[in-house]
């Protein structure tokens, strides 16, 4: 089954923009090889809520892609990024499919019953 | 039987009301359901339904890992 994945990457905020672009391009290529790449969402430089390895800022990027659920893409990305020192944190998550709410049509008589119940409680 | 003097307005789940789902990338939304200290607000206080509280807890934990929200807020005294 095809699922939409999203990978959040946090690069070291102190790095120059060129290195960040180079590293993100590497991952983009890796994703293109293993899955259907969709798009990147760039948040840019942000203050981290707490220091990670003595770093206070991070460069956030989110990659969206489609992959087969049996392709083990999340594990592959973890393996790919394990030894990369420019990446502070990364998280790969399957995007949740939001179900369409079911509209229930109640008969009018049921409403009257509910009102009756409330008055009994009081 | 509930005494009328102590009866309260029934709380409505914020997510049901706005027809949204908890999202770990939405920092402002996550901060709504976290105390100053960084703890998850219990649903008896926030009024979130059980289904959404479960999803919210996962979202908050993801946001913490990505350093969007602190695990423990410091400098509060």
Question: Parallel, antiparallel, or unpaired for β A87-94 and A55-68?
Answer: unpaired
Residue A37, classified by CB atoms within 10 Å of its CB into exposed (0-12), middle (13-18) or buried (19+), is: middle
Closest residue of chain A to B69, computed from CA coordinates: A49
Per the structure, the complete domain to which residue A114 belongs is given by 2-121
Distance CA A111, CA A67 (A): 47
- Each domain of chain B, given as residue ranges in start order, spans 10-65
Distance CA B62, CA B57 (A): 9
Q: In whole numbers, what is the pLDDT of chain A averaged over residues?
A: 81
Whether A113 shows a pLDDT value over 60: the answer reads no
Q: Which tokens go with A88?
A: 């502070």
Element spanning B32, H or E: helix B27-32
> pLDDT tens, B8-30?
777 888 888 888 888 888 888 89
Contacts of B67 in chain A (CB under 8 A): 10, 48-50, 52, 58, 89
- Substitution target in A6, A13, A50, A121 with the highest count of B β-carbons within 10 Å is A50
Q: How far is A7 from chain B (nearest CA, A)?
A: 11
CATH number, position A63: 3.30.70.60
Distance CA A5, CA A37 (A): 10
Whether A116 shows a pLDDT value over 90: the answer reads no
Distance CA A42, CA A65 (A): 15
Whether A122 shows a pLDDT value over 50: the answer reads no
- Substitution target in B67, B70, B76 with the highest count of A β-carbons within 10 Å is B67
Looking at the 3D structure of chain A, how many domains does it have? Answer: 1
Is there a contact between B66 and A101 if contact means CB atoms under 8 Å apart? no
> pLDDT tens, A18-41?
988 888 888 888 888 888 888 888
Say what the pLDDT of residue A99 is: 58
Angstrom distances, CA of residue B18 to CA of A49, A101, B29: 27, 13, 12
3-state DSSP assignment of residue B72: coil
Residue A25, classified by CB atoms within 10 Å of its CB into exposed (0-12), middle (13-18) or buried (19+), is: exposed
Hey, what CATH class is B10-65 in?
A: few secondary structures
> pLDDT tens, A37-79?
888 888 889 999 988 888 899 999 999 988 887 888 888 888 8
């Amino acid at each position: 089954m095809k699922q939409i994945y999203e990978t959040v990457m946090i690069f070291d905020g102190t790095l120059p923009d060129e290195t960040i672009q180079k590293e993100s391009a590497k991952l983009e290529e890796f994703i293109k090889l293993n899955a259907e790449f969709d798009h990147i969402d760039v948040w840019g430089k942000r203050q981290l809520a707490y220091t990670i390895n003595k770093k206070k800022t991070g460069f956030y990027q989110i990659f969206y892609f489609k992959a087969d659920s049996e392709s083990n893409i999340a594990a592959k990305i973890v393996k790919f990024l394990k030894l990369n020192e420019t990446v502070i944190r990364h998280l790969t998550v399957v995007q949740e499919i939001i179900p369409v709410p079911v509209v229930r049509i109640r008969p009018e008589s049921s409403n009257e019953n509910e009102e009756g119940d409330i008055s009994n409680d009081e | 039987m509930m005494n009328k003097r102590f009866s309260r307005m029934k709380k409505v789940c914020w997510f049901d009301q706005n027809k949204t789902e908890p999202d770990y990338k939405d920092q402002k939304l996550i901060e709504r359901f976290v105390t100053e200290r960084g703890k998850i607000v219990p649903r008896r206080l926030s009024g979130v339904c059980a289904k959404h509280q479960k999803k919210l807890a996962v979202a908050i934990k993801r946001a913490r890992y990505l350093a969007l929200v602190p695990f423990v807020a410091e400098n509060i005294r």
